[in-house]
Structure 1
Amino acid sequence: MPRVPAALSRRRNRNPDRPDRRRPLPLLGLAARPRPWLRALGLVTVVLTGAWLGLLVVGDVHAPVGPMDTTMALRPSLSGGTKINVSPLGALTLDSHVAPLRLDVDVDQLDPVRAQALVDHPERLSGLQREVTDDIGHGTLDLAVRSSVAVVTGATVLGLAVYRRPRRALAAGGLALALLAASGISAYATWNPRSVLEPRFSGLLSSAPSVVGNARSIVTEFDVYQKELARLVTNVTKLYDVASTLPAYQPDPSTIRVLHVSDIHLNPASWKIIESLVTQYKVHVIVDSGDTMDHGTAAENGFLDPVEDLGVPYVWVRGNHDSLATQRYLERKKNVHVLDEGRAETVAGVRFAGMGDPQFTPDRSRPTGGDAAEQLAGARLASALRDQRAQGTPVDIAVAHEPLAAQETDGTVPLVLCGHLHTEGTKILPLGTRLRREGSTGGSGLRAVEGKYPAPIEASILYLDRDTRRLQAWDEIGLGGLGRTTAEVSRHLVKK
């Protein structure tokens, strides 16, 4: 009888009920080999996590920009854009591009040697913008190279730690580089050179005019991104070139600045905010589109007394919470211009006309006229505007409280201002009139505590061309409501 090999004999004698460990069961085989989409999801997770860690750890670039030392970095973002941190004053946000990466620029400090060189040789200021543009170009190139190395290294190292296979790790690094390149292509394709003209500033309100810049000079003097960015950095340099106080904002003499407020609703803090805005922005005239009061009673009239101390003309129209007694009280105030029934006045070089709200809603003894009354009042205002134009004295800005009334002026005036809804907004009406609606400069008054979050305090600075009195740009100013201390300024340009 032939001899059976020992190995074969052991295999035959194995307990038939005991599974062979070298032959995995079908279910165990399925668990060991995940589905393709799960493997792909795992690889993408490793690539994104590794790339983010690489950018976070070694992706920063320290670059001199003019007299300043800055740190540039790319950070993951759902919306892209550029954020310029000017510590401790605040930050500027630019909608510069759409990509899953945001460019962060931190202004670290002002180099005393380079700054002193500019002071000693002021002739170098003429070439500062070109110097800043070149510095930014070099910094961006260094950032691109360093970011590429960072994402590839981070994804490769993490891939090696997770998969323990060099081929998989290299695949993760290559995919990370491809994603970075795709993000760069997306940023290039969506690059918006006008984004510097419309920055959003968050931080100390008193520094906003200097950081954001002057609307007139930005519109007329620069038309390409490099020059605008140089101007922006120059303004930041001015902020850092003082030791104890912020630099004075130098207003452009050819720009008329109008402060638009509305719906103060007896908030006493509003007067201090308005006074601060008048000082910081060198405002020429204030326009109040109504609802300054809450109930319109004679007992409330003393609330209006600070209007005389603001230092600039105050143009006012009646809102649905302002009574005729309120209107008569304001008419006796010096430097206050009350507009009603289409009456027009020229104030600070701008011709205004307005219509008081036809309804006084706190008076429950009389039924209100509703939307029909508002539209009728707007039609009367539009008729007065057409008469002014026929007489050769066209109105530059019309003012009403209710948006329904304001809409009736379409085609009779370039710009109409209103309020009432406690939310800001801008739209072009069908016949070309721009309607600008202001939020509540009083943070909705006592209504601020009715919602889950306090209502914001909102106002706007309108920049008008002195020759044409046409709107060039406006700054939306938002302050945190009751108990909050945030501030944001957002620049908008009139599209031509």
Structure 2
Amino acid sequence: MDFTDWTQRLRRFATGRISRAVAVLLVAVGGAWLGIALGGPVRAAVGPVEIGMSAEPSWAGETVVDAHPLGTLLFDTHNAPVGLRITLENINTTRAGALLEDPRFSDQLPALLEKELSEGVRTLILRAALCGLAGALIASLIVFHRPGPALAGLLSAAVLMTGTGAAIALTFRPDSVVEPKYTGLLAGAPSLVGDAESIVTKFESYRVQLAKLVNNVSQLYDTVSALPVYDSDPASIRVLHVSDIHLSPIAWNLMHSVTAQFKIDVIVDTGDLTDHGTGPEDKFVEEIDSFGVPYVFVRGNHDSKATQRAVAKQKGAVVLDDSAKTVAGLRIYGLGDPRFTPDKSVAVDSDPESLAALGRAHSTRLGQAFEPVDLVAVHDPTIAREFSGRVPMILAGHSHERSTELLPSGTRLLVQGSTGGAGLRALEHDEPTPVAASVLYFDRKTHRLQAWDDITLGGLGEQSVQIERHVETEPGRTISPGPTSVPSPTGSASGTTSP
């Protein structure tokens, strides 16, 4: 046998060993991650909060605190191919109340949080290590059916996990806690309680604000847990109703979060997106492009025809003005407000009788010129009421105060509050205007409203958040011009104003 034969045999032998080693390594890594994913997550009590902790693959090596449905905080804590996810699971309201009533709350809370979080992390590390090793061993046995490769896989997983742990320890950055990145509704957190570094260094100064946030989040989870029973069929059509944004970026933050969290199919905006309907304000409407779902818009009395054209240019926008279109399975008719009140050079007729007459005329036209519709969207409730008996559901805005009314015909009228907290108008009153929006659930077959969630955030300077669930008592009721005996579960609408 010459030298060439020996080199070829050696090359085949080495190639075979390398291939087997790579295969063992890949199976061990896959089994380890599967074991960590299935058995690694732990639950822990940290102060008044019950959290879930889990390790997950992450090239960024970050720590993510997921405070569903409020948003997330991201911390650049280390450099390693594994991330830590902390999920807010529940609020222990009994413990939260005890902490808030304790006069030593501000002194005890930092140490308590550090102690209980450290215990939870240690438990996670131990459990993840054991589950990862078990997963690597079991996967290797299943794939290779021999103890040798199985032990090699176990050893490979142990080495990799040890190396990952060492990388985390060597690159850990404790100062990252003062430089979080916020997403969702939590993006407003720095403006509510100050930047993270100030909170860490001047904790006592923020005791009151922190206590309020803890209490309000507790109330949020209490509210969610006490929602009336309604099985929101995943196949239902989910409509986000917003109105009277008035150039407020707060509205965009809320709408993005709700659209993602509630899996919204279509957004319906009942007007006053802008404040004066001017050209510079058109830039504001470009955010419509980013929602990724249809955005149905009807003009309000603060929106000019130019505003309406600017909205129509946006991707996904559906502008309705005495027109109807099927969107996300619902046939929607929309009518723009006949007035443009910011233009003081033009006389504006806001007489209720004139508005009602306009509504009656278009209601008659709707019955004659359009095929039956499921939903009507207008801006002013005075106009909206004239569509009673023509459709099962009417959406309106304008009054900056949410209300719902079951009209005698069986038609339900939902008047939305201001999703923008009335914009700069929030400064015109002693009490701030709440930020309001509603999620409506429609049956995909019957196109009838089944239930709706009213979402309310405290206005300027407040930190409250509330979700109220309402279930439609008789979704299949007859809709006709004559009276019905179906009661409204949430009372009657208040009178309209001209904001």
Normalising by structure 2, report the TM-score: 0.51
Q: Is the 8 A contact 1:427 1:435 kept in 2?
A: yes
1:456 paired with 2:472, answer no
Shift of 1:431: 1.6
1:261 paired with 2:222, answer no
Give the equivalent residue in structure 2 for 1:481.
459
Q: Is the 8 A contact 2:220 2:465 kept in 1?
A: no
Say if 1:376 and 1:485 are closer, same or farther in 2 by CA, change over 3 A.
Answer: same
Partners of 2:429 and 2:282 lie apart in 1 by: 28
Which residue identity lines up with residue 312 of structure 1 in the other structure? V
Q: Is the 8 A contact 1:259 1:283 kept in 2?
A: yes
Give the equivalent residue in structure 2 for 1:198.
none
SS in structure 2 of the partner of residue 431 of structure 1: coil
Which residue identity lines up with residue 276 of structure 1 in the other structure? S
Please list every run of 5 or more consecutive structure 2 residues that lacks an aligned counterpart in the other structure: 1-42, 46-88, 96-122, 128-214, 475-499
Say if 1:209 and 1:346 are closer, same or farther in 2 by CA, change over 3 A.
Answer: farther
Partners of 2:358 and 2:294 lie apart in 1 by: 25
1:87 paired with 2:70, answer no
SS in structure 2 of the partner of residue 460 of structure 1: strand
Shift of 1:489: 0.2
Q: Is the 8 A contact 1:358 1:373 kept in 2?
A: no
Shift of 1:207: 6.7
Any runs of at least 4 consecutive aligned residues in structure 1 with deviations exceeding 6 A, and if so which?
A: 204-210
Shift of 1:255: 1.3
Shift of 1:463: 0.8
SS in structure 2 of the partner of residue 272 of structure 1: helix
Please list every run of 5 or more consecutive structure 1 residues that lacks an aligned counterpart in the other structure: 1-66, 70-84, 92-111, 117-200, 221-250
| 1:320-369 alpha-carbon deviations (Å, 9 max, x no partner) | 0000010111112121000102x110000011001100011111111111
Partners of 1:480 and 1:303 lie apart in 2 by: 23
Partners of 1:212 and 1:287 lie apart in 2 by: 27
Partners of 1:90 and 1:359 lie apart in 2 by: 52
Shift of 1:90: 11
Q: Is the 8 A contact 2:245 2:420 kept in 1?
A: yes
* Superposition map of 1:171-210 within 5 A: 203=217
Give the equivalent residue in structure 2 for 1:402.
380
Partners of 1:289 and 1:208 lie apart in 2 by: 31
Which residue identity lines up with residue 475 of structure 1 in the other structure? D
Which residue identity lines up with residue 455 of structure 1 in the other structure? T
Partners of 1:254 and 1:87 lie apart in 2 by: 30
Give the equivalent residue in structure 2 for 1:387.
368
1:281 paired with 2:262, answer yes
* Superposition map of 1:80-479 within 5 A: 86-87=90-91, 203=217, 211=225, 218-219=229-230, 252-341=233-322, 343-370=323-350, 371-387=352-368, 393-479=371-457
Partners of 1:219 and 1:481 lie apart in 2 by: 29
SS in structure 2 of the partner of residue 258 of structure 1: strand
Say if 1:260 and 1:317 are closer, same or farther in 2 by CA, change over 3 A.
Answer: same
Give the equivalent residue in structure 2 for 1:494.
472
Shift of 1:86: 4.6
Please tell me the root mean square deviation across aligned C-alpha atoms, in Å.
3.4
Q: Is the 8 A contact 2:240 2:438 kept in 1?
A: yes
Identity %: 45
Partners of 2:219 and 2:380 lie apart in 1 by: 29
| 1:381-404 alpha-carbon deviations (Å, 9 max, x no partner) | 31233125xx6x310000110000
Partners of 2:344 and 2:471 lie apart in 1 by: 43
Say if 1:311 and 1:204 are closer, same or farther in 2 by CA, change over 3 A.
Answer: farther
